[in-house]
Amino acid sequence: MPSPKDTWKATWNSRSKRYQIIIGTVIMAAIIYIIPLFFGYLQKRHGVVLNDWLLARLPPHNVSVFIFGLIWGMALLIIIRTIKNPSIYITFCWTYIFIYIVRFVTLSLVALDPPRGMILLADPINSAFYHNAVITKDLFFSGHTATMVTIFLCLEKRTDKIIALIAAFAVACLLLVQHVHYTIDVLAAPVVVYTCYRLTRYLLCAADK
């Protein structure tokens, strides 16, 4: 079995894959730069509060520790797998790019105010990323759920996928427990992510031919 260094070298020597890595990384960096500015705009906008049947029957609880424990644990796992397999990075990167293009559109078109009883997520890493700004209107569709489903789809080992699927389901449920998202935010995320993932796979396969 080739070493991670040899795998990355072979991938880098492929012109199409090299461009996929470079262009994808640059676009991802641009998106990361834009996100705090965009969410700052969303916070100033007035939206509507949805009547969510499930949330109305679900008392809110602060489960931030569990949410971010699962998210950062799965992020660490996919980083480890990416070090060994650059194709995972390429697929994840471009899937995420398409996801955020769609999110920018849906968040712009669907103006929502936070659910009743919302408890703010407490995560020091995200707080630093958003410059300690309070973000409550990053709603339709759920970015946290989208991230977890993307990790599940991009991982390749069966055991990794099982762990990621369980973690994704747990995070989706916990977000509702904390009233961070409406039910529709969480349910829509896997549908959008899978569509973006299939589009990414199609385009990457076409580029490699």
pLDDT digits (tens, 9 = 90+) for 23-32: 999 999 999 9
Residue 207 has pLDDT above 90, yes or no: no
Secondary structure (3-state) at 48: strand
Residue 164 has pLDDT above 90, yes or no: yes
Question: What's 63's DSSP letter?
Answer: -
The pLDDT, as a whole number, for residue 132 is 61
- Residue at 208: amino acid letter: D
The pLDDT, as a whole number, for residue 2 is 75
Residue 121 has pLDDT above 80, yes or no: yes
What token pair was written down for 82?
Answer: 């990416």
pLDDT in tens, 46-79: 999 999 999 999 999 999 999 999 999 999 999 9
Residue 166 has pLDDT above 90, yes or no: yes
Residue 122 has pLDDT above 90, yes or no: no
Q: What is the pTM of this model?
A: 0.93
Residue 125 has pLDDT above 70, yes or no: no
79-95: b (≥16 Cβ within 10 Å) or e:
eebbeebbebbbbbbbb
Would you put residue 181 in left (φ > 0), alpha (ψ -120 to 50) or beta? Answer: beta
Contacts of 152-157 with CB under 8 Å at 24 or more apart are 153/95, 153/193, 153/194, 153/197, 154/78, 154/88, 154/91, 154/92, 154/95, 154/197, 155/77, 155/78, 155/81, 155/88, 156/81, 156/85, 156/88, 157/81
pLDDT class of 45 with cuts at 50, 70, 90: very high
What token pair was written down for 159?
Answer: 């055991």
pLDDT in tens, 126-152: 665 555 677 899 999 999 999 999 999
- Which of 167, 185, 168 has its CA nearest to residue 176? 185
Cis geometry, peptide bond prior to residue 66 (ω within 30 degrees of 0): no
